[in-house]
Amino acid sequence: MRYIIRAVKYFIRVSIFFGAILLALMLSGIVSKDVNVAFQNGWQSIGWIAVMFAAVSAAYPFFGYTSRRIPLLGDPAEYRGQIEEAFRERGYVPSGEGRFRLASPLARAFRLWEDAITVTTPLGYLEVEGLGRDLVRVVSSLERHLKNNE
């Protein structure tokens, strides 16, 4: 279910972005305001563009959200302070047990409220899951903080 929600949100985001660009081009006079003139096949082209957006949006959650493992030595509870500090450094605040969200409401809105990063502690490592582009920065910060603790 989470996958479908992410795909729908991404479809809406891409559609609004495309619509805003098209509207700006039409209002500035660069592109005709008549859809049949602006696009080779008129409204049929708009339909095909929507189908392409839907296909990309359906694949995006699969490629956009990842998980990473960070090896730990000892009890994960000992590292709680370093974990929270690493997230705080990257602009995240705790939002429940093992869950962090962006502190900035504007940044959360730009990510369509899909900004949560979850941290679980299976035996011997931390497993961090979230949006791939944010995860890279958070994991590098986590590794640095955890290495300083050892």
Q: How far apart are CA 117 and CA 87, in angstroms?
A: 9
Work out the angle at residue 131's Cα, subtended by the Cα atoms of residues 15 and 71, and round it to the nearest 5 degrees: 170
Which residues, 6+ apart, have CB-to-CB distance to 48 below 8 Å? 41
CA–CA dist 31, 115 (Å, integer): 36
Output the pLDDT for position 150.
Answer: 55
pLDDT digits (tens, 9 = 90+) for 88-141: 888 899 888 888 999 899 988 888 888 888 888 887 788 888 888 888 888 888
pLDDT digits over 58-98, tens only? 998 888 888 888 888 777 777 788 888 888 888 899 888 88
Task: Determine phi and psi for 57, rounding to 5 degrees.
Answer: -65, -35
Q: Which residues of 104-122 are buried (b: 16+ CB within 10 A; e: fewer)?
A: eeeeeeebeebbbbebebe
Domains defined along the chain, listed by start: 2-62 (no CATH), 66-149 (3.30.70)
Largest CA distance in the chain: 67
